[in-house]
């Protein structure tokens, strides 16, 4: 009987060559030919530079959706090995259950595992466990290698405002960018002098000073208060590198990474006096100012919601848009108990990059029970 075959391929990082996809398809095509089956050219599904630790992959989603469609377009799904399908035991089991329910076989060509065989569940589970352990051990080795680089004075992160990434033998090292360092010192001086985060951001935007990371998708990149706050807390400007402060975990079932803090006992504190941009005296003044601001303004509201940007108790915040710049409208005034709350443009209020100073009073209503 001639069976119709689909093929799913995947490789993990952008450092791997796309030729990996071609090799996987070639192996699956050769297997189908030996069986006298047909590999359908319009049912070749792939995910490139995507980890197998999560199931949130476009190619995999399209494959499962096609398998569930009626009439069913193929009978068998070919993969080079089980790790291409998933590197998570739970996800691998759920994928097999979904495909098995609609009557689609899965064959791991290199390992010779066919979901139609009686012992296939055991074999799939064993290989899924091995695939999961592999990615965890790889993560530990990568972490150990990055730790070694950090201790030897190399930079293990991305771009950092105030510095240039200089590629040298063995890795990347940071050098102070004097042009940007001048801006950093000015930000610290303004903060130590009592300027708010919002005032600092507006001042820099008014002078059209380029922000740290202008994003390609934003037509008018600008400084924002949260970026200023992060800079004022960055130990590197004071000549210290704190490595291993946080870790990334993946949200279950997805490839989205979420940062989680590590215990302070796991931090690696490395003195790097050559990277100092601000003096000890200025650093201490700014930290004292931030601590005072947190004590005075950092309390929670009565209903448990955090102030300002962390959450919103207002219905239209972040939904209604400014007609001038397209920014979100947020509550900009009247937060006191007796004040009248008003919506305004967030780009004008926080950054000063929009000329729209219009404010619209929030109208309350009663819900009939």
CA torsion sign for 45, 51, 53, 57 is negative
Of 352, 56, 368, nearest in space to 228 by CA: 352
Contact by Cβ (8 Å): 329, 344:
yes
DSSP string, 131-161: HHHHHHHHHHHHHHHHHHHHHTT---SS--T
Contact by Cβ (8 Å): 55, 254:
yes
d(CA 287, CA 295): 12
Is the omega angle on the peptide bond into residue 71 within 30 degrees of 0, that is, cis? yes
Of 107, 9, 122, 128, nearest in space to 62 by CA: 9
d(CA 272, CA 237): 10
Contact by Cβ (8 Å): 50, 12:
yes
SS (H, E, C) 192-214: HCCCCHHHHHHHHHHCCCCCCCC
SS3 assignment, position 88: coil
Which residue in this structure is represented by tokens 């380029």?
210
Instruction: Kindly report the number of other CB atoms within 10 A of residue 89's CB atom.
Output: 17
pLDDT score, position 306: 45
d(CA 296, CA 26): 65
d(CA 159, CA 143): 19
Half-sphere exposure of residue 148: CA atoms within 13 angstroms, side-chain side:
8
Phi, psi (rounded to 5 degrees) for 242: -105, 110
All domains in the chain, ordered by first residue: 4-138 (3.40.50.1390), 182-297 (3.90.1750.20), 308-361 (no CATH)
The pLDDT profile of the chain, 369 residues, written as one tens digit per residue, is 789 999 999 998 645 566 789 999 999 999 999 999 999 999 999 999 888 888 889 999 999 999 999 999 999 999 999 999 999 999 999 999 999 999 999 999 999 999 999 999 999 999 999 999 998 898 899 999 999 999 999 999 889 999 999 999 999 999 999 999 999 999 999 999 999 999 999 999 999 998 887 665 556 688 989 899 999 999 999 999 999 999 988 887 677 888 999 999 999 999 999 999 999 999 999 999 999 988 887 654 444 444 444 445 555 656 678 878 877 887 777 655 556 778 888 777 777 878 888 887 766 544 443
Residues 6+ apart with CB under 8 A from 228: 187, 191, 197, 200, 201
């Amino acid at each position: 009987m001639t069976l119709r075959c689909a093929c799913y391929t995947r490789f993990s990082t952008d450092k791997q060559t796309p030729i990996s996809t071609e090799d996987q398809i070639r192996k699956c095509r050769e297997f189908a030919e030996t069986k006298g089956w047909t590999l359908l050219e319009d049912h070749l599904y792939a995910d490139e530079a995507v980890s197998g630790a999560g199931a949130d992959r476009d190619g995999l989603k399209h494959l499962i959706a096609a398998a569930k469609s009626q009439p069913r377009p193929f009978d068998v799904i070919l993969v080079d090995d089980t790790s291409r399908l998933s590197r998570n035991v739970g996800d691998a089991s759920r994928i097999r259950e979904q495909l098995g329910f609609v009557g689609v076989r899965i064959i791991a060509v290199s390992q010779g595992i066919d979901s139609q065989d009686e012992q296939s569940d055991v074999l799939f589970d064993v290989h899924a466990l091995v695939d999961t352990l592999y990615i965890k051990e790889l993560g530990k080795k990568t972490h150990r290698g990055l730790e070694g680089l950090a201790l030897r004075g190399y930079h293990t992160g991305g771009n950092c405002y105030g510095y240039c990434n200089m590629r040298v033998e063995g890795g990347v090292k940071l050098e102070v960018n004097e042009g940007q360092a001048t801006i950093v010192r000015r930000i610290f001086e303004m903060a130590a002098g009592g300027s708010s985060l919002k005032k600092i951001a507006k001042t820099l935007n008014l002078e059209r000073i380029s922000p740290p990371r202008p994003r390609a998708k934003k037509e008018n990149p600008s400084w924002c208060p949260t970026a200023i706050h992060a800079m004022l807390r960055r130990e590197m400007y004071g000549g210290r590198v704190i490595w291993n402060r946080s870790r990334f975990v993946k949200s279950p079932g997805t490839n989205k990474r979420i940062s989680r803090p590590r215990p302070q006992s796991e931090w690696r504190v490395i003195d790097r006096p050559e990277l100092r941009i601000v003096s000890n005296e200025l650093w201490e003044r700014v930290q004292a100012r931030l601590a005072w601001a947190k004590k005075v303004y950092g309390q929670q509201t009565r209903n448990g919601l955090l102030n300002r940007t962390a959450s919103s108790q207002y219905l239209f915040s972040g939904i209604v848009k400014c007609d001038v710049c397209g920014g979100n409208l947020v509550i900009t005034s009247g937060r006191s108990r007796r004040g009248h709350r008003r919506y305004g443009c967030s780009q004008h209020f926080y950054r000063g990059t929009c000329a729209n100073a219009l404010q619209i009073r929030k109208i309350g209503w009663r819900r009939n029970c």
